[in-house]
Structure formats: C-alpha cells, structure tokens
Structure 1
Amino acid sequence: MVSQSVLLLAATAGLGLAAPIERRGNLPEPVSAATAIQYLSSIKVAVESNVPAYDRDLFKHWITISGECNTRETVLKRDGTGVVTSSACAATSGSWYSDYDGKTWTAAADVDIDHLVPLKEAWVSGAKDWTNDRRQQFANE
C-alpha cells in the first residue's frame, strides 16, 4: 500500500546521508538499515503503464478537511510558524521553513504543497487500478 511505501521512503531516505538532518514535526522513528533492506526485498516490481492515460482530474485533491479549510490550507497551518488565517482559512501571514533547501518563505503563495510521490508516478505504478476514493485519499495524504 501507499502508506507502506511512504514508510519505506522515510525509512531509507537517510541511508546515504553523511550527516543527519534535523527532524522537525511528528515524524516516525526511522527503522534500522537491516529492516529497510528487508522491506526493500519484499517490494513487488511491476512494469509501469500509462494505459489508460494519466488524468490529474482522477485524483480529487485539495478537498475540504475541516470547516472551510482544504488540504493545502491545513498543511500550511500545520507546517508554518505564526500562521494567521482569514475567515476563509487562507494563510495571510506566517513563515514556512523548507527542509529541502534550508530556505524560509513568508508568503503562502510561494510555498509549494506537493506529493512525495507525484500523482502521475502513482498512476503509472498502479493507481490507475485504484478506486476514486483511494486516489482521493492518496492525493490528500
């Protein structure tokens, strides 16, 4: 399942790094290298296919999570510091730190909220066989 894939990604992400990355938020503890290797050996490898053709509209995203807040707005509030929102849940101020490049952003419009696994990659890797509900869940995780 996707959750196992994300766990596997999290478990193996640090294996090749020379220095540890500061952990932020409520991330799961990494598994040992031996456990990560065991997980990797159990992955079923299948040929990718884009038939039927990928269509982003098949992954309903930015759904309402709570009240007026959609997925993007919820993530901006969760991951930002000092975030102030409008009555419509839009972030009007705050700051967001990027673990990827060490930069801090102060305009919500400049912050990309994206998927660790791109939606098209998920599609060609098997999401084309999922239900619409499962694709929606994946797009909003």
Structure 2
Amino acid sequence: MQRTCRARGRTTAVLFALLLAVVLAVAAAVGVSDEAEAHRASAREQLAELRVKPAGSMVGYSREKFPHWSDAREYNWTLPSGTPDPGSCDARDAALIRDGRDEVVGSGCYVERGRWFDPYTGKTYYMPSDIDVDHVVPLANAWRSGASSWTTVKRERFANVPMDVLSVEDNANASKGDKGPEAWKPPRAAYHCTYARKWIGIKHNWTLSVTGAEKTALSSMLSTC
C-alpha cells in the first residue's frame, strides 16, 4: 500500500509538471501572438497614414545625391567595445559588424571575416565579399517618393542611419535593385512580414509616399505576420 501511494504521488507530480509546462507554453504562444498582432496593427496604421501618389520623376537622380557610407559615429551607430580604430568605421562597416556574428575586424575597421545570416534568402555566409549593405528602401525609390526635394544633408542622413540599412547577400541585393515590394519581395517568404514592417516604418519615419501598387503589396505582406 505504501509503495502504491508513493507511485501514485510520483505519477501525480509528473502529470502536474507536464500540465504546468503545457500551460506555460500556451501562455508564451499567446504572448508572442499578441505581440505580433500589435506590431502588425502598428504597421497597418502607419501604412494607412502614408500618402499614396504616383512615383515621381528620376530626373536629376544619382546615388551621389545621397552621400553614403559616412562616419558611423555621426549617425548614431553603436560599435562593440574593443572594435579596433572605431573612428575609422563608416556606416557600411558598422552594419556588417551589427548584423554579423564572430566578426574579425582589423585596423581601419576592415571587416575580414565573420558569419552573416541573410534574411532575404535564409542562407548563412562567412565572407564579407558575399554581403552587400542594402538600403531597405532603395535610394532611387526614396528619390521618386519625396527625397528629390530634400537637402543633401537630409539625404546623407537617410543613407547612413541604422534603421535604413541591412546586411544581405549580394546577389539578392542585385536582384532587388531599386524595386519596390510591388515588383520584388525577398525570396524567403518567412521574411515578408518583417520586410514589409521595415519598409513601412522607414517610409513613415521619413514621410515618403507610396504608389497604389506598392501599398497593396505591403498590405498583402502584412497578412503573413
């Protein structure tokens, strides 16, 4: 009888532990779901606030109108302690350091190697030569949607601040070019939600417009969140 009681007690304890684990897992899942819904709602609200208008002219555009890869420290980049010669880091260097893992950085802030997960393709790369630092909203797209009227100082800030750039595989970046989400989406569908939120957040922050097709594509991508 005593052994039976002990066995029942152990069984009850195991069942209770399993039940508790299930309850905690469900609570965590609900928490993640609520957070994801909040992010999606915020992105939809921002998208609704963006001006919808046809793409502007490319007359006068050149990448040089957006001075880029400027001094990282001037544009609020945070570099890890121990970075050799941080004063030499430009925004591109800083993006590679931020987005990578196990980087080896030499003098002059030269990123020699590391490990980069490309969110566009879902693949991992180990040499910085395989990585481009992408302007999430391409410079030409920004020009067509309002940046043509900005000062050079404002365009330089757009091209260098942390929120506007992302380290990705070079061929994926080349495929994207200056296309909006109505014409190009990351090959990795699992990233569509995050990509749409980033794109919307940048355009909202800089008061840039969207085309009708662009807005439709962004709305559709948000439905994957």
Could you say which TM-score interval applies, normalised by the shorter chain? 0.7 to 0.9
Counterpart for residue 79 of structure 1: 99
* Residues 1:98 and 2:115 aligned together: no
1:125 to 122, 139, 145: 145
Structure with higher Rg: it is 2
Rounded to whole Å, the distance in 1 between the matches of 2:108 and 2:56 is 40
Call closer, same or farther: CA 1:65–1:32 in 2, change over 3 Å. Answer: closer
Counterpart for residue 111 of structure 1: 131
Deviation at 1:39, TM superposition (A): 2.6
TM (norm. structure 1) is 0.72
Counterpart for residue 109 of structure 2: 89
Contact 1:62 1:72 survives alignment (8 Å): yes
Deviation at 1:31, TM superposition (A): 3.4
Higher helix share: 2
Rounded to whole Å, the distance in 1 between the matches of 2:62 and 2:100 is 31
Call closer, same or farther: CA 1:70–1:42 in 2, change over 3 Å. Answer: same
Unaligned runs of 5+ in 2: 1-35, 74-86, 162-225
Rounded to whole Å, the distance in 2 between the matches of 1:51 and 1:85 is 38
> Could you tell me which amino acid in structure 2 is paired with residue 49 of structure 1?
G
Contact 1:52 1:128 survives alignment (8 Å): no
